[in-house]
């Protein structure tokens, strides 16, 4: 049975142990180290159409890395794109929606399916535009955010509101909707409150299920990186 283990407290690795014949797939360039009993191949999973849809939905590369234990049991170390915590989710009874760049790796039995979402969520959120990824099937799924992570349990009658840039993944059974702010009535009042409070878009979750959040704002990180790029 394939084993996923998070190794290290700061900028951790995902340690994957595979038995002979088992395989996983991960985001392009995620592999850091692997034993010689493993084989790595780049594949356009699901064909060109599926690769394009995942590119729009989750910012993934066209080619994913597929790692298989072809010559015996073996271990590998994977690393997410952004510096931050890694969470391991069990896909089966529950499927999960993923925000941009959250996917790290999954067992072969987990499928990344692309779904369309409403125009309001597509235009005002940062959850993948008109398309968003859902992880279904059966197996382990590793996701990552920017900074530390925390798992929130949403219960009926106890809705949770989260800054959009801090959401990593959530149970697909949860209902989610986008808003600008949470207090002022009227669209203009919401815009004013959004500017004065420093908050951007927020996601409101209701129902029953888990939401994984990260401590750092990925949008602020991207803006910070742009400062170091040459202007010309």
Which tens digit of pLDDT belongs to each residue from 63-90?
789 999 999 999 999 999 888 999 999 9
Strand segments (E) across 172-214: 175-179, 202-206, 209-214
CB-based contact 68:39 (threshold 8 Å): yes
Other Cβ atoms closer than 10 A to 103:
28
The structure's pTM equals: 0.79
Three-class SS state of 188:
helix
CB-based contact 84:148 (threshold 8 Å): yes
- Residue position matching structure tokens 């993934």: 60
Other Cβ atoms closer than 10 A to 140:
21
**CA distances (Å), origin 93, targets 111, 138, 140:** 14, 8, 12
Which tens digit of pLDDT belongs to each residue from 113-141?
877 655 444 444 444 444 678 899 999 99
- Band the pLDDT of 156: cuts 50, 70, 90: very high
**Is residue 232 over pLDDT 80?**
no
DSSP assignment letter at 158: B
CATH number corresponding to 3-226: 3.60.160.10
């Amino acid at each position: 049975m394939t084993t996923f283990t998070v190794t290290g407290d700061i900028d951790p690795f995902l340690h994957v142990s595979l038995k002979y014949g088992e395989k996983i797939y991960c985001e392009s360039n995620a592999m850091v180290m692997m034993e010689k009993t493993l084989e790595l191949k780049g594949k356009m999973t699901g064909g060109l159409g599926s690769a394009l849809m995942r590119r729009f939905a989750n910012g993934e590369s066209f080619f994913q890395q597929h790692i298989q234990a072809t010559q015996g049991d073996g271990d590998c170390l994977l690393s997410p794109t952004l510096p931050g915590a890694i969470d391991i989710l069990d896909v089966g009874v529950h499927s999960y929606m993923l925000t941009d760049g959250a996917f790290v790796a999954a067992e072969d039995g987990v499928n990344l399916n692309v779904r369309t979402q409403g125009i309001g969520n597509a235009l005002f959120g940062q959850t993948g535009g008109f398309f968003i990824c859902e992880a279904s099937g059966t197996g382990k799924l590793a996701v990552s955010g920017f900074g530390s992570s925390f798992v929130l349990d949403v219960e009926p009658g106890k809705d949770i509101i989260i800054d959009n840039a801090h959401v990593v993944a959530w149970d697909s059974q949860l209902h989610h909707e986008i808003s600008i702010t949470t207090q002022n009535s009227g669209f203009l009042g919401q815009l004013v409150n959004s500017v004065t409070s420093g908050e951007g878009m927020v996601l409101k979750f209701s129902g029953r299920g888990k939401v994984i959040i990260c401590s750092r704002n990925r949008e602020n990180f991207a803006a910070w990186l742009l400062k170091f790029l040459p202007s010309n």
